Structure 1
Amino acid sequence: MTNSPEETPSSVREQAPAAGDVLDLDTYDAIREPRSAARLPLGDGTWHQLARQYVWVQLISTGAFALVVLAAVLLLTLLWGQWWAWIPGGIFLAILAWTMIITPRQARAYGYQLRDDDLVFRRGILWQRVVAVPYGRMQLIDITHGPLDRGFGIAQLKLVTAAASTGVVIPGLKQQAAEQLRDTLVDVAESRRTGL
């Protein structure tokens, strides 16, 4: 999904003329919507998505956790004969396997949009969430990434506002895209700052 200058809100375009090129680098092509007619609509504008590496990071971390659970269950059953450990362990492993199966579809349901007055963040298939964060209400913009994230060159961007319920975390951004988005949002937020 490319972002032409005509599709970017004018106030954001003035702050970051080449942001679209960086924000859409190595991301998914189109945001996935639930099939239900009662879904939350996407609306107009250009939606930016997560980097493809986000899925690999999630699969590796969930798979590693599943291996730890499997090792614990095997240890309990083989060394101490606690066969009951397969019941909770099996349920937990089934949940982790299901999580790994739906991760690629889930990652394609994340998206964010830069509008004239706010940033809109969308996620979820079954439990959908759409949050609009006004630029003037942003208090802190934080970039974090763990060792696995750094290995794949991605980061997460957290937007903090005065209301805790409207805080937004955008995971799986390319490092360069996260830095560009942070700089753009800080510049726009400063120009739109309201009396808090």
Structure 2
Amino acid sequence: MSEPFDPADVTWSRVSPRLAAARITTTCIVFALPIAILVVIAVLTGELWVWVSAAVLALFVGWLVLLTRRQVRAIGYAERADDLLVRKGLMFRQLVVVPYGRMQYVDVTAGPLARKFGIASVQLHTASPATTATIDGLPPHEAARLRERLASRGEARLAGL
């Protein structure tokens, strides 16, 4: 018997590990200023509780770094004959099944940080907003290939309706 989030007949493709580096960079950018402010205040005042606050925040960032790496390893997608599967999540797992015939259009996006790390995102739009799926962290050539393949499969399935 197969697991609901890991069907037996599926070979999963992984996203680039550079996605973890991009997300970790974002986390560090967000938390660098608060930690720096706490350290400056701690140096100026000499209060122990401010040092403890800075240390707790730094430990929280370290935990987020470890968690981000595991979250990225949990992301996968699989192309099957009639649909695309997208899975993600560690504690709260999610498996989205998008039938090719329901796809309306496919977007490929890459912001400045994503371009710096050499990754892009593919977003699938369907007739139902609830089944919109996103695959983050693909190399640009793979994102373009997937976009073309999904668009052609979607058009072929729509023509058959």
TM range (shorter): 0.7 to 0.9
CA distance in 1: counterparts of 2:132 and 2:54, whole angstroms? 34
The aligned counterpart of 2:62 is 97
The aligned counterpart of 1:41 is 6
* Aligned residue type for 2:12: W
For structure 1, which runs of at least 5 residues remain unmatched after alignment? 1-36
C-alpha displacement at 1:93, in angstroms?
A: 4.3
- Quick check: 1:121–1:132 contact (8 Å CA) kept in 2? yes
CA distance in 1: counterparts of 2:8 and 2:100, whole angstroms? 19
- Quick check: 2:15–2:76 contact (8 Å CA) kept in 1? yes
CA distance in 2: counterparts of 1:133 and 1:39, whole angstroms? 16
Instruction: Find out whether 1:139 has 2:104 as its counterpart.
Output: yes
CA distance in 2: counterparts of 1:162 and 1:73, whole angstroms? 48
Question: What number of residue pairs does the alignment pair up?
Answer: 160
Instruction: Find out whether 1:127 has 2:92 as its counterpart.
Output: yes
* Aligned residue type for 2:110: H
Of 136, 147, 155, the residue aligned with 1:182 is: 147
Instruction: Find out whether 1:167 has 2:132 as its counterpart.
Output: yes
- Quick check: 2:5–2:87 contact (8 Å CA) kept in 1? no
- Work out the percentage of aligned pairs sharing the same amino acid: 35
| CA shift in 2, pair 1:119/1:73, >3 Å | same
Q: Deviations over 1:107-131 (max 9, x none)?
A: 1111000011110001111110001
The aligned counterpart of 1:29 is none
TM-score of the two chains, using structure 1 as the length reference: 0.69
C-alpha displacement at 1:140, in angstroms?
A: 2.2
- Quick check: 1:137–1:194 contact (8 Å CA) kept in 2? no
For structure 2, which runs of at least 5 residues remain unmatched after alignment? none
| CA shift in 2, pair 1:92/1:195, >3 Å | farther
| CA shift in 2, pair 1:116/1:146, >3 Å | same
- Quick check: 2:39–2:54 contact (8 Å CA) kept in 1? no
Of 59, 69, 73, the residue aligned with 1:108 is: 73
Instruction: Find out whether 1:55 has 2:55 as its counterpart.
Output: no
CA distance in 2: counterparts of 1:189 and 1:101, whole angstroms? 37
| CA shift in 2, pair 1:140/1:92, >3 Å | farther
* Aligned residue type for 2:127: A
1:56-75 matched pairs, under 5 angstroms: 56-74=21-39
Find the residue that maps to 1:193 and give its secondary structure: helix
CA distance in 2: counterparts of 1:47 and 1:171, whole angstroms? 15
